[in-house]
Amino acid sequence: MSALLCVCLSGCSLVKLKEESKTFYSSTVLAGYVSSAAPWDKPIVVAAYSTRNGRLEIAHHTVLHEAGGYELIVQKGEYGLFAFGDANGNLRLDAGEPVGDYAPAPVPASGTGAVVNLDFVISAKAQGAIPPGTSVAAAASGNQHSTQVGAIAKLDDALFSSESGRRGYWAPVDFFKEVGGNIYFLEEYDPRKTPILFVHGAAGSPQDWKYFLQRLDRSRYQPWVFYYPSGASLDSMSYLLYWKLGNLQRRYHYDRLYLTAHSMGGLVVRSFLANYGEQFPAAKLFVSLSTPWGGDALADSGVAYSPAVIPSWNDVRASGRFVQTLFQKPLPRELDYYLFFGHAGRYSPLRPASNDGAITLASQLRPAAQSEATRVFGYDADHIGILSSPEVFAQYAALLKAADKRDRGGDAARNGNVRVAFSYARPDEHPASPPVLVLTPTDPARERIVLPISARDNGRALGPFPPGDYNVGLLAHAFRATPASMPVSIGADGVADLRFLLTPQGTLSGYIGADATPADNPAGSFRRHRRDIQIESIVLTNGEDRREIRPLDETRDRTVESYMAGRDYVFNTFFSFVGLNEGSYELTIKVAGYQPYRHVYQVVPGKYGYLTPIDLSALK
Residues 95 and 233: their CA atoms lie apart, in Å, by 41
Among residues 292, 177, 301, 280, which one has the least CA distance to residue 232? 177
Q: Which range has the worst mean pLDDT, 133-142, 448-457, 467-476, 531-540?
A: 133-142
Whether the Cβ atoms of residue 258 and residue 403 lie closer than 8 Å to each other:
yes
Percent helix, strand, coil in the chain, to 5, is: 25, 35, 40
Strand partners, 99: 84, 123
Q: How far is CA 532 from CA 133, 505, 536, 570, 597, in A?
A: 51, 33, 13, 16, 17
The stretch 483-489 carries a mean pLDDT of 94
Q: What is the pLDDT of residues 208-222, one digit of tens each?
A: 999 999 999 999 999
Give yes or no for residue 1 having a pLDDT over 90.
Answer: no
pLDDT at 141: 61
pLDDT at 270 over 70: yes
Supply the angle between the helices 234-252 and 264-276 in degrees, to the nearest 10: 60
Q: Label residue 347 by pLDDT band (50, 70, 90).
A: low
Query: Over 50: is that where the pLDDT of 11 sits?
Result: no
Q: Which of 230, 290, 281 is nearest to 260 (CA)?
A: 290
What is the sign of the dihedral through the CA atoms of 65, 67, 69 and 71? positive
Average pLDDT, integer, range 234-248: 97
pLDDT confidence bin for 350, thresholds 50/70/90: low
Q: What is the DSSP letter of 158?
A: G
Residue scoring higher pLDDT (273 or 620)? 273
Q: Helices (H) and strands (E) in the chain — how many of each?
A: 13, 31
Confidence tier at 406 by pLDDT (50, 70, 90): confident
Instruction: Give the pLDDT score at 137.
Output: 87
pLDDT for 9 equals: 39
DSSP string for residues in 267-294: HHHHHHHHHHGGG-TTEEEEEEES--TT
- Among 351, 338, 443, smallest CA distance to 395 is for 338
Task: Summarize pLDDT for 546-580 with one digit per residue, the tens.
Answer: 999 999 888 888 999 999 999 999 999 999 999 99
Residue 258 CA to residue 474 CA, distance in Å, equals 29
Domains in the chain, ordered, with CATH? 9-122 (2.60.40.1120), 151-408 (3.40.50.1820), 411-504 (2.60.40.10), 506-619 (2.60.40)
Residue 352 has a pLDDT of 59
**Position 3 confidence tier, pLDDT thresholds 50, 70, 90:** very low
Quote the Cα angle for 480-469-456, to 5°: 50
Q: Is the peptide bond before 487 cis (omega within 30 degrees of 0)?
A: no
* Mean per-residue pLDDT of the chain: 91
Cβ proximity of 561 and 64 under 8 Å: no
Write the burial class of residue 70 (CB in 10 Å: 0-12 exposed, 13-18 middle, 19+ buried): buried
Do 144 and 108 touch, CB atoms closer than 8 A? no
* pTM score: 0.93
Pairwise pLDDT comparison (313 vs 299), residue with the higher score: 313
Sequence letter at residue 423: S
CA distance 229 to 210: 19
Residue 584 half-sphere exposure toward CB, CA atoms < 13 A: 2
**E strands, 37-97, in order:** 44-52, 55-64, 68-75, 77-85
For 148-203, write each residue's pLDDT tens digit: 999 999 999 999 999 999 999 999 999 999 999 999 999 999 999 999 999 999 99
Write the CA distances from 496 to 107, 316, 415, 421, 458, integer angstroms: 41, 49, 12, 11, 14
Query: Looking at residues 591-597, what average pLDDT do you find?
Result: 95
pLDDT for position 4: 39
Residues 492-516, buried b or exposed e (16+ Cβ, 10 A)?
eeeebebebebebbbbbbbbbbbeb
In the prediction, which pLDDT does 288 show?
98
Q: What is the mean pLDDT of residues 44-64?
A: 94
For 16-20, what is the mean pLDDT? 87
Q: State mean pLDDT over 116-120.
A: 92
Other C-beta atoms lying within 10 Å of the C-beta of residue 595: 11
Q: Give residue 143's pLDDT band: very low, low, confident or very high (50, 70, 90).
A: low
Radius of gyration (C-alpha) of the chain in whole angstroms: 24
* Contact residues for 412 (Cβ-Cβ < 8 A; gap 6+): none
Measuring CA to CA, which residue among 65, 58, 67, 78 is closest to residue 130? 58
Q: Hey, which bits of 319-445 come out as E strands?
A: 336-342, 375-379, 416-424, 436-441
Amino acid occupying residue 88: N
Question: Cα(516)–Cα(526) distance, rounded to whole angstroms?
Answer: 11
Q: What is the mean pLDDT of residues 507-535?
A: 92
> What's the mean pLDDT in 105-118?
92
pLDDT category at 492 given cuts 50, 70, 90 is confident
Q: What is the mean pLDDT of residues 408-429?
A: 75
Compute the average pLDDT of residues 23-34: 96
Predicted confidence band of residue 12 (pLDDT cuts 50, 70, 90):
low
Give me the sign of the Cα torsion angle 3, 5, 11, 14.
positive
Q: Is 203 helix (H, G, I), strand (E, B) or coil?
A: coil
Is residue 98 within 8 A of residue 123, CB to CB? The reply is yes
Q: Is the pLDDT of residue 147 over 70?
A: yes
| DSSP annotation of 428 | T
pLDDT of 5 > 70? The answer is no
**Measured distance CA(379)–CA(154) in Å, rounded:** 30
Averaged over 402-419, what is the pLDDT? 72
The number of beta carbons lying within 10 Å of the beta carbon of residue 186 is: 18
pLDDT at 107: 93
Q: What pLDDT is recorded for position 167?
A: 95
Percent of residues, the chain, with pLDDT higher than 90: 75
- Single-letter amino acid, residue 444: P
Q: Is 617 helix (H, G, I), strand (E, B) or coil?
A: helix
Virtual torsion, Cα 273, 274, 277, 279, nearest 10 deg: -150
